[in-house]
Amino acid sequence: MKKRQHYIPPEKNHSAVKIQDNVTFMAFLNKYLTNKVTFIFIGCVLILLTRLPQFFGEMLFPDGDECIVGLMAKHILDGKGFPLFVYGAPYGFAVFETVPAALFYKIFGVSAVTLKAAILCLWTTGWIFFVLTLWRLENRRIALIGGILLLFAPGWGAMSLKAWGTHITAFTAMNLSLWMLADIYRSKDDCKKTAVLSGFSLAIVILSNPIWLFAVLPFVALLLYERRKMSDIVFMALGTFGLAIIILLAKLVSGGIEHHWVPLIFTDWNILEAIKLLPERVWVAMSGAYFLIDKLDAGKGTFLATGIWTITSLLFLGWSAAGLFRKDPASFLIRGFIGVVFTILAVSIFINNEVFGYRYFLPLISAFIALIAVGIDRLWNQRQIAKISAQILLCLLIFTGAVSLSEFRHLSSSVMPPEAKVGEAKAIETLTGYLSIQGINSVYSFDRMLHWQIMFASKENIKARWFHPSDRYPEYPRAVDKAFASNNKVALIGYSDQMASLAKYLVKRETFPRVEESDGWYVIIYDPDRALLEEIGFVLNK
């Protein structure tokens, strides 16, 4: 078999740079982390250690979207089906999240910890391919710096545990695709098999969350421009469309074509307003302290870390962009990630401002970190002052990132009510336990996410529903309405800060229902009648 030949493209050979340091933190890394396996192992340990505060924190509980994925994994474990996509959504190819979660459930039991541990394993896989991509395209030191920064990045602190069925899968598939694109770029030979496999990964990116496609397209365009081999793109496209069609046909055959949630994000453009909001959106995304469209306060350490990480990212982005105009051409990696940043920012201004989610900027974090890693490596090769500055900056980023990650243990997965007395994990456990003691196994939720949390926390012993008569999983609303029609005990649940909205319906009643508060988080309205439920907005099944 002919051995694949590799070549160094017409740019600076970063791999040829001899790394010599004094006795410093990076000198230790350079001395002992001389191979990929050792660094990846240590990196995996650090990923776990930096997330332990969250795992042991009082706020560790999945948000509503995560609970949907958690319930999907439970259905796989219970033999109730094998859902390919997030319930009720046209995207969210979630198999790579639900199957590991089901396996973890089988071994450790169904819980928030096992769900998030499974997701962290998937994110760690994406982290590994990110490191390998930097190692392949640049050099060992850049890979070490980039890998360390990515695992300490505040923007991924809480997000790396999010079982949304979309972003973690897309993150991992994106990095896998980039790793294979790097192999194609470095090779002189035809890479049809690698191109097809890269296309497979790209299909997973598109089907899980199309936003992440824009984190790969700049590299695809560069690859075509550099190698000028259309066959690479053709075979990549065949892999992408081939796998996508197979998966979509499987979805069609399984009957999962009813979409309850179809976000029309590219509608009602307000480009000028979106441009004005860009600085705030980048800041919040870099902080990692948000819930959907809401900003959260993680703490002073996170605020400081966000400032340092954001300013550093923008400075190195500017430095890298300026390098595009030098005689010495910028590397494939630099040009690719610069393209990713500007592509994501450009696409974002066409998103409806009313539904823009800060998570849409998650692809920016890897791009910024890659550019920072290359920039620090350049400073490292300069005079002593520049080298010391690079070391100080790296240590500052790591330290502030570590502080921020420790603060995320206080960050709720949803917007925490001002009256809350305990952490969310304890509050939801108390709520479901109390409802069970009261003999209430069917619940109407005033909040569009809370019913999923109640069902996940109770392991489906309590069925819950929102306003829509079918919602994402029609079995649940039908079960709740059947219990209500059979005169079984039911309750209406909302967050404590929603009581004012609920009160305007209650004051109209001739008989005021029994109302209780639970830990300052929730309000429980016992035995609501049909008139009250329908007035609030519930469409009941007959």
Domain boundary assignment for the chain: 14-410, 424-536
Asked if pLDDT for residue 7 goes beyond 60, the answer is no
Lowest mean pLDDT among 282-291, 365-374, 488-497, 510-519: 510-519
- The span from the CA of 266 to the CA of 31, in Å, is 50
Res 32: pLDDT: 56
Give the model's confidence band at 25: pLDDT under 50 very low, under 70 low, under 90 confident, else very high: low
Give the model's confidence band at 308: pLDDT under 50 very low, under 70 low, under 90 confident, else very high: very high
Instruction: Please check whether residue 203 is in contact with residue 165, taking contact to mean a CB–CB distance below 8 angstroms.
Output: no
Give the β-pairing of 442-445 and 294-295: unpaired
Res 452: pLDDT: 97
Cα separations (Å) of 93 from 165, 170, 247? 7, 9, 9
Asked if pLDDT for residue 29 goes beyond 80, the answer is no
In one letter, which amino acid is 135? W
Give the model's confidence band at 3: pLDDT under 50 very low, under 70 low, under 90 confident, else very high: very low
Averaged pLDDT score across all residues of the chain: 89
Instruction: Please check whether residue 137 is in contact with residue 331, taking contact to mean a CB–CB distance below 8 angstroms.
Output: yes
Give the model's confidence band at 35: pLDDT under 50 very low, under 70 low, under 90 confident, else very high: confident
pTM recorded for the entire structure = 0.91
Long-range own/partner contacts, residues 412-415 (CB < 8 A, 24 or more apart): 412/59, 412/291, 412/296, 413/59, 413/61, 413/62, 413/63, 413/66, 413/291, 414/63, 414/64, 414/291, 414/449, 414/453, 415/291, 415/294, 415/296
Res 485: pLDDT: 94
Res 504: pLDDT: 86
- CA angle, corner 156, sides to 152 and 158, nearest 5? 105
**Residue linked to tokens 């994925």:** 69
- CA angle, corner 482, sides to 479 and 483, nearest 5? 90
Give the model's confidence band at 198: pLDDT under 50 very low, under 70 low, under 90 confident, else very high: very high
Averaged pLDDT for residues 58-80: 95
